[in-house]
Structure 1
Amino acid sequence: MHRLAQSLVLTALAACCGAAIAATPADGVPHGRLPRWAAPESYQLAFKVDPAQQDFTGTTTIKLALKQAADHIWINGRDLNVGKVTITDASGRQHAGKYVTVDMKAGVARVDLGNVLQPQTITLTLDYTAPLNQQLQGLYKVNHAGTPYAMTQMEPVSARFAFPGFDEPDFKTPYDIALTIPSALTGVANTSQISETPAGGAWKTLQFARTQPLPTYLVAFAVGPWDVVNGPTITADSYRSEPLPLRGVATQGEGHRMQHVLSETPSIIHTLENYYGFGYPFGKLDLLAAPDFSAGAMENPGLVTFRDWFLLLDPQSPTKNVRDSFNVTAHELAHQWTGDTVTLAWWDDLWLNEAFATWMQQKVTMKVHPEYRADLDRIAAAENAMENDSLVSARKIRQPITGIGDIETAFDNITYRKGAAVLGMFEGYVGEDVFQKGMRAYIQQHKFGNATADDLIDAIATTANQGTAFKQAFDSFLNQAGVPYVQTTLEHEGGKTILHLSQGRYLPIGSTGDATRVWGIPVCVRYGTTSSSKTQCEMLDKPEGTMVLADAGTSAWVMPNANARGYYRFSMSKPAWADLTKHVDALNDGEQLAYADSIDAGFRRGDLDASDVLTALQPLATAKTREVAVAPLSTVMWIYRYEANTDAQRTAIADWVTKAYLPRMEQLGYQRKAGEADGDSLLRTTLAHALALDFNVPEVRTALLKQGDAALSKKQDGSLNLAAADPDLLGDALAVAVQERGKPAVDALIAELPRTTDPALRNAMLAALSAANTPELANEARDFAITKQVKVGEMAAILRGGRDTPAARDALWQWFTAHYDQVLGRTGSFASGFVPRLAGGGGCSTAEADRLDTYFKPRLKDLAGADRGLAQTREQILLCAALKAKQDSAAILR
């Protein structure tokens, strides 16, 4: 029993002993967590769903433990029209109850029990109707190729749109699901179907096997004319005695495109089972390609749902989609252990789900597809998280949750990417084998239950024979926001080479934060010796420390983040930077990524100017490894977009980029070659986009325009000839065509999108429309984005464009504020926290920050989680403005 529930039982017993009849709880409306004196033990969910209709009906039967005398209970439900409530007490007597919506926005309802019931097990049955949601939440409706489908997305707090219940993660129970659906349609759910019976007229009822204990957010089902295709059966192994059935579920006519992902899935499952020492526990596995979806994918046990382009693949699919398909599938299947088998106790530990799945996906990818270089993806992802973590308004990994808005904004880079980087750092500190043993113990101790961060840290510490200092170091990264900044000074004292270390919080120029902060940082450095290099590690858990570098010569160079395993940035003196730049070829790929990030960090602190940056980054541009070669581009693009004020300065940056990258682009060519490495295809895509659309290199724009024109030509049936462009470059080719050909290109894409169902082609056209670079054409594309021809989950793909110049951002702002209600009307609560960024992201002036603040502050009450979104977007704008003011653009021409 949960400790809180246990204490409540003891309290109730004490009250019982002191009075003849225990009083009903005198509680207020629970705007945070529900009271624990009523807890579900199991659910029976029955739905009658026809996707062609606007509404559905349901009956929810909850067996629950009433742990103290009460005349009511609190549950979650939103947009539910509950018509009948029946209470069955422990003796089998029934009487009517009443369902009262108390807070519709939060989805909180009170069920009046009719009279005071003493502690016992009761059954609560609620009959209701509800709309099929239009914002991709709960049980929602989506049309694909003119055909309606219904499916679910319950995470984080959207189950309350689909059925009344206890919509919190530690209320973990089994479910029996029944779907009554039109006879011609197919229904799938978390578990295998065990029966089908006629339900009168043209209806049938499907009954599914009882689930393992699940929280509400993992309940899943879907109804429609789905294609269901068999994949290879996943063979039994030493951790699972029965073969595992594997299927793909796709919209009508698309099932044949599931074969690639299905062929990859067995290797992922076996790798995960081997790591955790625990077999996949959910009986069957379906992968569903959703025609519209609010997330990238969702780890529902037994029925994992994805945005369709991750799963619908063929030989002409973009290379990025193929690689992303594997990575996202590995992430979601890792959740079957961390998230589904062991579930977070409360949303402040969301990282126990998402950080672990991100970290584990990288391990699976390195095992199955080492050529994908997931080790470098981990480093790049950590550095991406550092951008957000450098804000004063950044979340902690374990951010206290005070309301729905906090839950919904917890799904960010801090939770996923920073969390995964911190796990990787401490895994490196204790050793991979030791960490694995700790993870196995954690899974075994908490399987089919809930866990907290302390449970995980204790399991790792026990296995690693680590004590309080280790736990405090781990907690220092979970319980405080920010990026550690390790400053280094190399000195020679008494015949020894000593590296002096100090730490604080990394803060860019213009930040209002306090840099005084201490973490427990496993600092590892690589340094030059007379013959090669050595690595040395220390736990830096005080403001200052030292390391004696054995065998280091007087001219030793130092790389303060060996193997880029540490979640921190570093700084050195300019001479030390210059020395490290001379030896950058001696660094491994990961260290070169960390080198590039710390150059960028020094620039954003105002320690380095544009000339310093261009000199320091130049050696990386010619690196053989794709991830390293393109690492300088984001920093150089900022200088080009925000610092370069004159034609001469912009030309100088464009010339630097052209010299560094155009030869490589021309060597790769503009068409995918038969049998080429997928890394080459990805490099072609990255360079083509950067050179043509970010830096306007004429040679690349000309080559892409040729492909864009060919793609915009019409076939005999009047549709566009989209296959005429390289599939990896289609979006960029169309984007250049939009910018060069103007309204005819925009009109052609707007006409084509509604009659195109292929998700990869749709994504390419959406990206092209977002590239419209005149106010008139950009507004035409935006007007289209809020129509029904653009899916709800696609809208932002168009709206995120148009930010490259102050004039473009002003035009976007004017359009956005004029169409705010339409945008909000299509935005589900899961995405509402990001609306301020959609409106004002990319700004770089105090005026832009102020107008954002003035406009959104009165509207925060309508946007769950937007207070954090507003604070972070505003801070990013002000930091950009401060950096622009600090940097001397004349340095570009030095």
Structure 2
Amino acid sequence: MNDFRLAKDVRPARYALHFDLDLERWTFTAESTIGLTLARRAPEVTLHSVDLDIKTGGDITAVSYDLESQTATLTLATPLPAGPAELRLSWTGSIAEKLRGLYRSTRPGERYAATQFEAADARRAFPCFDEPEFKARFTVEVVHDAKLAAIANMPIERTEDLPRGRRRTAFRETPVMSSYLVAFTIGPYEATPPATTKTGVECRVWLPKGTADQAIYARDAHVRAIEWLEEYTNIPYPFGPKVDAIGIPDFEAGAMENPGAITYRTTLLAADEKTASTATFKAVFSVAAHELTHMWWGDLVTMAWWNDIWLNESFASFVGETCTAALNPEWRFTRDVVSQNTPAFNLDSLLSTHPISMEAKNVDEANERFDAVTYLKGQGVLRMIENYLGENDFRSGVRIYLDRHKWANATAGDFWRALDEASGRDVTGLATAWITEPGHPLVSCSVRETTTGLTVDLKQARFFSDPALAPTAQTWPVPLVLRYGTRAGAVSETRYLLDKAAGSVELPGATWYFPNGGGVGFYRYAFDDRSIALLATDIAKLTPDERLSLLDDQWALARANKATVGQVLNLVAGLKGEDDLYVLRTLGDILAWLNHNALRPSTERAFRELVDATFRPQLEKLGWENREDDTSDEREKRQLVIGALGHSAAAADVRAEARRQIRAHLDGTTRLQPDVAGPIASVAAIEGDGALYDRYVSRMKEAQQTDPQEENRFRFALADFRDPAIVDRFAGSIFTDLIRDQDRAILVVRMHGLAHAREAGFRTLKASWDEFVTKMDPGGKQRSATAPGQLTPKKLVEEAVAFLQSKQTPDIKETVAQAVERMRIGSANAERMSGELDDALGRIAQPTR
């Protein structure tokens, strides 16, 4: 794709779209009338069109296509005059196999058509001005099989039964919006009963037949989130009287924020107490809140061009998670937000990262920006700025920005100016560095003890995961929050803006300190030895968010060769009594990486004992089954510790019990509780044989019609079988009809991260690239290119680097560079850490059992 942009002298005001869909042949015919406003007389009009056959006749005498710019230039029978005008078009097209544009989806005996237009795929369904600033109103009319439901952005205005079992469904006109937000779908859906918000917005969930009764929780989550967002923004829900949440059997992303017709993976809607885990309920609420936040950020106020996609996604992440935390206090969800910094830090510590806001010259480049920097670093920076300004000033700025730019387009500068105005402070100067500079700082802290307390000397430099990279001259205005303990036994807090390369801060009466209070700062930090010693005796006084931040930070320093694996394991050993879910989860992630990448025969026994000693006390406390008085944390911890003991600790008793329980579940003797079903299926597979693998496949297929959660957990567990013949069999099945298109890249990613499966996974990726990966939607192709970034064995890394570089195309240029950099860093870490493990484990005394 080239860098072509449409001229601004022809603008759409309205589209009247008519589609006649043939789901038997997977084709469609269509026509439209586009209301235009022209700044000049136009003998021809250029708009976007891909894989559409635009007909000549009537207004149009000739059509020429430019494949590189994805446009069609229409020569007109009569030039259009300056001012308002209309353009009538007709065309034909195919309902696509790949999950973009107007595409097909199936379940056994069922056919669906659905749309996915972000970032620039409306042009694959109808000729249009497919850039975000060309906002217009849309009416959609669809002719379809009368037995199928039709859903679109707006409510149905009228229906008309036609001959041969067909029906015409016409929808009301939308408010002004960008073309990538148009949505409609046809299929054998069924809906939940409606639920209505306090302001009269009617919410339903639509799912494939037989599953809508599982979506009451998701429906009610939409109601609650809309009510919270209306109060937060001080703007009523902008897009009419209804919100439909639609679970599509095949869907590339997690969800898509089409106003009034939000589309989802079915697993993010079909979740009830009989089928779903606590973690799934959290995901359902969080994703719904994220997508509904887009109704204001992205849909009502839209970025002018894709270099400000973060204005959509960072805000949807930040405000959506704020909403989730506020409405579900029992989850203590800020820990989840702190943990979400980790993938953002990991990507942002690469040389090949990008700024939050960066020029996207074309849509290929824009598609690569839907990543952890845009979503999660952006969220982390916004959270840090809110903490710096205070919630009230931040929310006032938000309201100014949304009210000032509603129904229009805006830029990052517009938002910062609104915050300047609301707070009376120079937010623009503070924020610009954080969104326009790649990377983030490492704040190095050294302490001096004085008669009045502690003086902390601070230095900042860009943090790189690769220790071979030289420091840069970059500095950030870092709004530090330092929490510290006093001689009187209290815990206090001070704030300091480190806006130069170095500085110092006085902590009166302090006996210890922590340089990222609440874990709200998007920066790494490193202690000198004396700071560590002072903190060590009072580590229990840190909040769970802070212990989580500390552990994640220490692990990042070890991977950057600024700390040793021994120092990390000392911290792990010191947290054996840790009870917090999110800290335990981070411990589990660290130990799992070492398990798959750094273990040697000489270190295996001591390592397994360390993992066992870390997690077994929790299993003994919690047991295998949920209790009526369990907290949500306890339900998730049970899930976590079964997985850690079965995989990283290789605990024989845990593996045997998992096999016993999964057989009873598959036999129908007992049904596994949803909170433990996933890890039990995973652990039972480790030593499973071909017969058990066949039963997993059968259960996955059976559940496809009735239980998306069950289908998902058994599909996911197929990667855990370790028998080499079964590993090869599973790898060979990924790009067959056994696995849906939407799940193929996800399973390829998973296989690359598992020691027993990564070689087979990479062989499958290589063999399938030309036939399958190149034809995937942008997200699937990027995930596939990302997968080898987890590889660490030196020979495999060399092969994968050469392969990815040979397959690089403009739409995955950044993704390939990041994967290559990750492989080289990870391989060096695995080799170094495997050498350090012997000594590190020898220093940690393990209890015998």
Give the TM-score of the pair, scaled to structure 2.
0.94
Could you say which residue in structure 2 is the equivalent of 1:732? 679
Could you say which residue in structure 2 is the equivalent of 1:454? 413
1:429-458, Cα deviation, whole Å (9 max, x unpaired): 111011111101111001111111001111
2:257 to 299, 307, 323: 299
Cα offset, 1:496, TM superposition: 6.3
Matched, 1:171 2:159: no
Matched, 1:34 2:6: yes
Matched, 1:67 2:39: yes
Could you say which residue in structure 2 is the equivalent of 1:865? 811
Could you say which residue in structure 2 is the equivalent of 1:97? 61
Equivalent position amino acid for 2:62 in 1:
K
1:124-154, Cα deviation, whole Å (9 max, x unpaired): 2221111111111111111123210111111
Could you say which residue in structure 2 is the equivalent of 1:11? none
**Change in CA separation of 1:428 and 1:807 when aligned onto 2, cut-off 3 Å:** closer
CA distance in structure 2 between the partners assigned to 1:701 and 1:245 by the alignment: 47
Cα offset, 1:109, TM superposition: 2.3
1:856 to 789, 799, 804: 804
Could you say which residue in structure 2 is the equivalent of 1:120? 83
CA distance in structure 1 between the partners assigned to 2:38 and 2:141 by the alignment: 26
2:743 to 794, 818, 822: 794
Cα offset, 1:847, TM superposition: 3.6
1:97-136, Cα deviation, whole Å (9 max, x unpaired): 3232211x65332222357655333322221111111111
Higher deviation after alignment, 198-207 or 318-327: 198-207
1:823 to 767, 772, 784: 772
Could you say which residue in structure 2 is the equivalent of 1:759? 708
1:81 to 50, 53, 56: 53
Cα offset, 1:826, TM superposition: 5.7
**Change in CA separation of 1:604 and 1:687 when aligned onto 2, cut-off 3 Å:** same
Say whether the 8 Å CA contact 2:192–2:204 is kept in structure 1.
yes
SS where residue 790 of structure 2 aligns? Answer: coil
CA distance in structure 2 between the partners assigned to 1:447 and 1:85 by the alignment: 39
SS where residue 392 of structure 1 aligns? Answer: coil
**Change in CA separation of 1:409 and 1:738 when aligned onto 2, cut-off 3 Å:** same
1:423 to 370, 374, 382: 382
CA distance in structure 2 between the partners assigned to 1:815 and 1:53 by the alignment: 31
Could you say which residue in structure 1 is the equivalent of 2:824? 878
Say whether the 8 Å CA contact 1:485–1:506 is kept in structure 2.
yes
Could you say which residue in structure 1 is the equivalent of 2:234? 277
Cα offset, 1:511, TM superposition: 4.5
Within-5 A mapping of 1:385-464: 385-464=344-423
CA distance in structure 2 between the partners assigned to 1:711 and 1:561 by the alignment: 46
CA distance in structure 2 between the partners assigned to 1:510 and 1:492 by the alignment: 31
Say whether the 8 Å CA contact 1:622–1:629 is kept in structure 2.
no
Query: Structure 2: which 5+ residue stretches go unaligned?
Result: 844-849
Equivalent position amino acid for 1:857 in 2:
Q
**Change in CA separation of 1:725 and 1:797 when aligned onto 2, cut-off 3 Å:** farther
Say whether the 8 Å CA contact 2:765–2:784 is kept in structure 1.
no
**Change in CA separation of 1:44 and 1:752 when aligned onto 2, cut-off 3 Å:** same
Cα offset, 1:498, TM superposition: 2.0
1:814-849, Cα deviation, whole Å (9 max, x unpaired): 2322232343266213322222223x2321145434
Could you say which residue in structure 2 is the equivalent of 1:154? 117
Could you say which residue in structure 1 is the equivalent of 2:620? 666
Percent sequence identity is 26
Say whether the 8 Å CA contact 1:77–1:161 is kept in structure 2.
yes
Could you say which residue in structure 1 is the equivalent of 2:218? 261
Could you say which residue in structure 2 is the equivalent of 1:109? 72
CA distance in structure 1 between the partners assigned to 2:263 and 2:438 by the alignment: 32
2:693 to 720, 742, 746: 746
RMSD of aligned residue pairs (Cα, Å): 2.1
Cα offset, 1:512, TM superposition: 3.1
Could you say which residue in structure 2 is the equivalent of 1:479? 436
Equivalent position amino acid for 2:118 in 1:
E
Cα offset, 1:177, TM superposition: 0.9
Say whether the 8 Å CA contact 1:526–1:560 is kept in structure 2.
yes
CA distance in structure 2 between the partners assigned to 1:361 and 1:528 by the alignment: 33
Matched, 1:202 2:148: no
Could you say which residue in structure 1 is the equivalent of 2:734? 785
Higher deviation after alignment, 419-428 or 404-413: 404-413
Could you say which residue in structure 1 is the equivalent of 2:790? 842
Equivalent position amino acid for 2:648 in 1:
D
SS where residue 502 of structure 1 aligns? Answer: strand
Say whether the 8 Å CA contact 1:510–1:883 is kept in structure 2.
no
Cα offset, 1:220, TM superposition: 0.7
1:47 to 19, 37, 60: 19
CA distance in structure 1 between the partners assigned to 2:465 and 2:30 by the alignment: 53
Give the TM-score of the pair, scaled to structure 1.
0.90
CA distance in structure 2 between the partners assigned to 1:754 and 1:113 by the alignment: 53
Cα offset, 1:515, TM superposition: 3.8
Cα offset, 1:790, TM superposition: 2.0
Cα offset, 1:621, TM superposition: 4.0
CA distance in structure 2 between the partners assigned to 1:854 and 1:804 by the alignment: 19
Cα offset, 1:234, TM superposition: 1.4
CA distance in structure 2 between the partners assigned to 1:491 and 1:231 by the alignment: 63
**Change in CA separation of 1:695 and 1:131 when aligned onto 2, cut-off 3 Å:** farther
CA distance in structure 2 between the partners assigned to 1:495 and 1:859 by the alignment: 62
SS where residue 321 of structure 1 aligns? Answer: helix
Equivalent position amino acid for 1:102 in 2:
D
Say whether the 8 Å CA contact 1:488–1:572 is kept in structure 2.
yes
Matched, 1:616 2:571: yes
Could you say which residue in structure 1 is the equivalent of 2:483? 526
Say whether the 8 Å CA contact 1:330–1:364 is kept in structure 2.
yes
Could you say which residue in structure 2 is the equivalent of 1:548? 506
**Change in CA separation of 1:303 and 1:807 when aligned onto 2, cut-off 3 Å:** closer
Within-5 A mapping of 1:466-545: 466-467=425-426, 470-492=427-449, 497-512=454-469, 514-531=471-488, 532-545=490-503
SS where residue 481 of structure 1 aligns? Answer: coil
Cα offset, 1:492, TM superposition: 4.1
Equivalent position amino acid for 1:519 in 2:
W
CA distance in structure 2 between the partners assigned to 1:473 and 1:218 by the alignment: 32
SS where residue 249 of structure 1 aligns? Answer: strand
CA distance in structure 1 between the partners assigned to 2:612 and 2:38 by the alignment: 71
CA distance in structure 2 between the partners assigned to 1:375 and 1:660 by the alignment: 24
Say whether the 8 Å CA contact 1:180–1:205 is kept in structure 2.
yes
Cα offset, 1:493, TM superposition: 6.0
Equivalent position amino acid for 1:730 in 2:
A
Say whether the 8 Å CA contact 2:52–2:91 is kept in structure 1.
yes
Matched, 1:465 2:465: no
Within-5 A mapping of 1:599-614: 599-614=554-569
Cα offset, 1:381, TM superposition: 0.4
CA distance in structure 2 between the partners assigned to 1:652 and 1:424 by the alignment: 40
**Change in CA separation of 1:622 and 1:97 when aligned onto 2, cut-off 3 Å:** farther
Could you say which residue in structure 1 is the equivalent of 2:846? none
Could you say which residue in structure 2 is the equivalent of 1:566? 521
Higher deviation after alignment, 389-398 or 45-54: 45-54
**Change in CA separation of 1:831 and 1:402 when aligned onto 2, cut-off 3 Å:** farther
Displaced runs of 4 or more, over 6 A: none
CA distance in structure 1 between the partners assigned to 2:508 and 2:171 by the alignment: 65
- Structure scoring higher RCO (CA < 8 A, sep ≥ 6) equals 2
Could you say which residue in structure 1 is the equivalent of 2:847? none
CA distance in structure 2 between the partners assigned to 1:675 and 1:287 by the alignment: 32
Matched, 1:628 2:583: yes
**Change in CA separation of 1:823 and 1:751 when aligned onto 2, cut-off 3 Å:** farther
Equivalent position amino acid for 2:457 in 1:
H
